[in-house]
Amino acid sequence: MTFASSLRLSRLPLLATLLGLNLSAQAAPAAVSFDTTPRAGQHQRQMIDMQAVMRMRLEAGPDATEEQRAKIAQTATQMSQTGPVKMALQMQQVMKVGMADTGGWLPVTVSVTNKGGTMEVGGRTMPLPKNNAGDLSFSARFNPKDFSFDVQQFDGGSPELKAAMGQQATAVIGEALQLYKALAQRPLKIGESVDVPFNMALPMPMPGGAGNMQSTVRYTLVRVANGVAHFDLAMDLKMDISTPLPRPAAAASAASAAGADAADAPPQMMQMVINGSGKGSSSLRLADRLQQASRLSMNMKMTMNGPDNGRMLMEMDMDMQSKGESLAKPAAKKKP
């Protein structure tokens, strides 16, 4: 298990929110829901800024041999000398919703663009490669009557991610929409809270992989002023991931030369468990359901068991902020 591979495995995908509803901004309503259901005519952009500090420690597992323990101890010493790893990432998410068809379905397009970032390792700051590997977009149709959702096209990301999302995108997004549905159906008075479970299977790019996330999100309505509802957020999550590791070319060639039994041997597996909790806030403009600003600070702890009887322990402090703006053109005024 190398230091570079641990960095790659520590990246966590980021999720953003969807938006919409039409309420009067003249007076504070008696109850407000955090309703971010897509609605016809929406065109909104979120600029997302993530800061993370990762502290990693490597130790030998209980079944490690003396040779493995010596190699792991050497790598652990090198990692301790490097110190914490700091990362900053910026992303942009744009969502556009068209007009409903005769069946009530809304066309929806979402794009996520990598805007660059930096990484600090051992006191040295370097820019992250700015490529299109992290960019993705999809087009779909959404029915607000029953929250049905069909992904029609998915583009971007690595070939492995594209293949996984092509198979599981509808299920993953459908689970996410259940969170929005539950929040939309629960109006809150000032001081009231709602706890919403958010559980979903995680798409794995490697065949034979499996993962799931279990979390609870709490929204508390703090105040309503000038047509904007302000919420406090709290989140707890747990992720369990099991995925086979790609077989190195040299090992694959050796297995092939050794015969069919060796070539068909099961791949080495990586096991990962992540626990996290966080708090934050979000402000929602009620007139068009634009999420004007949000912030979520989280602490996550990860335990990863690798195939070489090494165990990676990581603690990450992450702060995510987003700012939203509406790109929809105002309706043209009718001439008298």
User: Maximum Cα–Cα distance for the chain, whole Å?
Assistant: 88
Dist CA 280 CA 230 (whole Å):
11
SS3 for the chain is CCHHHHHHHCCCCCCCCCCCCCCCCCCCCCCECCCCCCCCCCEEEEEEEEEEEEEEEEEECCCCCHHHHHHHHHHHHHHHHHCCEEEEEEEEEEEEECCCCCCCCEEEEEEEEEEEEEEEECCEEEECCCCCCCCEEEEEEEECCCCEEEEEEEEECCHHHHHHHHHHHHHHHHHHHHHHHHHHCCCECCCCEEEEEEEEECCCCCCCCEEEEEEEEEEEEEEEECCEEEEEEEEEEEEEEEEECCCCHHHHHHHHHHCHHHHCCCCCEEEEEEEEEEEEEEEEECCCCEEEEEEEEEEEEEEEECCCCEEEEEEEEEEEEEEEEECCCCCCCCCC
Distance (Å) of CA 193 to CA 76, 80, 217, 258, 285: 44, 42, 10, 62, 19
| Burial label, 79 (beta-carbon count in 10 A; 0-12, 13-18, 19+) | middle
What tokens were used for 252? 């694959």
| pLDDT tens per residue across all 336 residues of the chain | 443 344 343 344 433 333 333 333 345 567 899 999 899 999 999 999 999 999 999 998 888 889 989 998 988 888 888 889 999 999 999 999 999 999 999 999 999 998 989 999 988 999 987 766 668 888 999 999 888 888 888 887 666 666 655 556 666 777 778 888 888 889 999 999 999 887 776 666 555 667 778 889 999 999 999 999 999 999 999 988 887 766 655 444 544 555 555 456 666 777 889 999 999 999 999 999 999 999 999 999 999 887 778 899 999 999 999 999 999 987 656 565
Dist CA 12 CA 304 (whole Å):
14
The single-letter code of the amino acid at 264 is D
pLDDT at position 86: 95
Dist CA 273 CA 243 (whole Å):
12
pLDDT at position 247: 61
Residue 140, C-beta contacts closer than 8 angstroms, at least 6 positions apart: 107, 108, 109, 110, 149, 150, 151, 152, 173
pTM, 2 dp: 0.77
pLDDT at position 159: 63
Please answer whether residues 180 and 149 qualify as being in contact, where contact means their C-beta atoms are separated by less than 8 angstroms: no
